[in-house]
Structure 1
Amino acid sequence: MMNLGYKIMFFLSIAIHPSAEVPSTCGTPPSFPHMEVRDKYLRQKNIFSKGDKVLYRCAEGYTQYSGIRSIMCEAGKWTRLSMKCEKKMCGSAGELFNGHYDYTGASFRDKAYAVCNEGFTLKGMEYRMCKESGWSGEIPTCEEGGEPQVVPAEVTCPAPSVANGVKLSEADSVYRVGDSVTFTCSEGFLLTGAQQLTCGPDGQWQPQLPLCQASDITQSSKPDGRCRVPPYLPNAHLSDRYITQTDFGPGERVRYRCALGYVRARGTYYSTCVSGKWTPVTLRCERKSCGSAGEISYGDFIYTGVKFGDTATGVCNEGYQLVGRGVRNCMTDGWDGRVPVCEAVQCAELPTVVNGETNGYLEPPYFYSTVIGYRCRVGKLIGAKEIYCTKDGTWSDPPPECKGEW
């Protein structure tokens, strides 16, 4: 019996043991809509140990608005990702003097078509596109008379590709005149040439594509104390004087500045080359706040938010109608346009009722909720005794009639 009991326990322990094991590693991190795992984590490995973390970033054309970007491997499973991404908004494409923009929308990949007033012709791009960094190209002009000089929107540059290089911005599938891309090199490679390229009117990148050379080759001709291209910083970029520089000596310092529509939240603007590496950049840039878009008498603004790229739409109270442009966009220098006005709806002047009169005399205009009462001097009143001006600018009923005799 003891032997039998021992054998039963032995086999039970074998059967139970595998199912009791808890996996200690995690596989490839999960994918989510409008998000992607930062490349460096996927290049390192595809098996992750307990406690390992990976960082996500919003996909091209989307920005983070809440949550935490990281997940962790725990007990063989990835923790839940709380980060949320929203579609990039570009707001207004700018003021086109002697013309206006026709928008397909104001979010990522939408277009704003330039339309000149009668008698004026367009000089420049026929439309601007909402990109990762804002509206593409420059604002065209509408000039009096003359022949149009429109840069064809079909002129594109081929997708730029640099061996061992990584695009930091503007990773679009179509590149038009005026679009820019910024490159850095993969780990172990150094960039030679310009870091930022622009699509020229001839469909060619200007200047020419840079090279990413293996660091051991590059370093053989340079001291180990020098630095290569400074690190990429979200919502910020290098000051213009440093953009094309690819080699920096010990002690050299570069300055960053917040991107268009962003302001410094904390940290310093500088990074210094020390022992072949850049000191950490503490600058953090956040979307500029525009605050209130103003007060509308007899109405309110409905906001998507109050930061750069957000919009405020004017909505009037019942019986009032909007006069002026109804949407304001949060721009780098505050809300564009002006506060619209809500004016009371008016009803048309009423015809005279034969043999009838109104109770009292009201002069036009007749605004929303105005009430007019009728009485007959001769005959009997047929119809509504009182009518009022509705929120739609129409009278609640037609005027009555006075028929017959007393």
Structure 2
Amino acid sequence: MNLGYNIVFFISVAIHVSAEASSTCGVPPSYPHTKVADKYIQLNKYNHGEKVIYRCAESYTESRGIRSIMCDNGKWTRLKLKCEKKTCGSAGDLFNGYFNYTGSLFGDKAYAVCNEGFTLKGMEYRTCKDSVWTGEIPTCEEGREPQISQAGITCPYPSVANSMKLGEAVSVYRVRDSVTIVCSEGFLLTGDEQITCGPDGQWQTQLPQCLPSSPDSILIFKPDIIFYCTCGVPPFYPNRHLSQSYLTKTNFSLGDRVRYSCGIGYMRVRGTVYSTCVRGNWTPLTLRCERKSCGSAGEIDFGNFVYTGVEFGDTATGVCNEGFQLVGQNVRHCMNDGWDGRVPVCEPVQCVDPPEVINGEMDGNLEPPHIYRTVINYRCRKGKLIGASEIYCTKDGTWSAPPPECKGSKYLFLSNHSYTKCTICLFPLKNL
């Protein structure tokens, strides 16, 4: 009795374990240009109904589809997420020149080329990085001597003893980068307070000095320094906003600094976010903000997007191919967080059922729907076919021609013992 019970028990357990094993899934599959979200990397077993989230790989962006797959009775459902390379769009307008692109995707370059008679000033190319072009747009100046490319030229860190560290730490200073030197308390600046990285990799002008001073020397030799201990309201910069904590403050002490950030729809590409109160004036803000890029607005089957651009404020208008009509919102706007709305759908135009013809027959695709370019053929069982023997559904959703007619032959009495054959008889004929 106990033996039989044990056998049944172990069989039940085995069946249960087998069923449980068959309903679990292993490590999620790999898909091109995607990766599993970090929290799922260490897991290698999933129960029925559990989901796993995928993300686009670096330098790729989500274009459409669903980001998750699910364990369904021991098998993973297929991932529908589509990832495409990030695009930077246009590198900008180069007056008296143009950009020569190797592409507009991540890692591509846009080389600046000046028209004949103009010489390039600035970086000779921009690189597509994370949906934005690096650097600033160069200029094409007339009548300048050819200059050596400034790509890769840097200046050393401007080390000035007894000076204050302003802004954020910068590891590389490139040509035309500016730095403002502010002396620590108890020291006076000798030389220019703002220096610029030159094309030869040297600072222009020479590095200033911070020399010690006493309160007496300030009063005797530089009495006007007293009027430098405060600054007024920080200046306004387009597309760059003062942090909210400074908005209500109107007076700032010597050495105080304020922080700026890029406005909505703009992103930081270079420069420091700080401005410092120095000698009663705010140091120039070197923060540079450029419009965010939304990349591709998506792919439309049987249609495409027409772009005004791919940066903040631009639009992408959906246009269907001939014979298709758009379903959904036709315009998408590049917003701060990407394109608004969804990718519209282009569906084929449909025509109403083709009309029947008395004494006639139809051939072709007679089952609805009758979509664009559907062809219907007519023939007569009796009489002669008058009109088009073939009609088709046009791009406007109408048939290309009215239906034909099937007409019989009649004889028209003209005079004594004289008849003629009437091919099209639009009125009843009688013997006269």
TM-score exceeds 0.5? no
TM-score if structure 2 supplies the norm length?
Answer: 0.42
Which structure's CA Rg is the greater one? 2
TM-score if structure 1 supplies the norm length?
Answer: 0.45
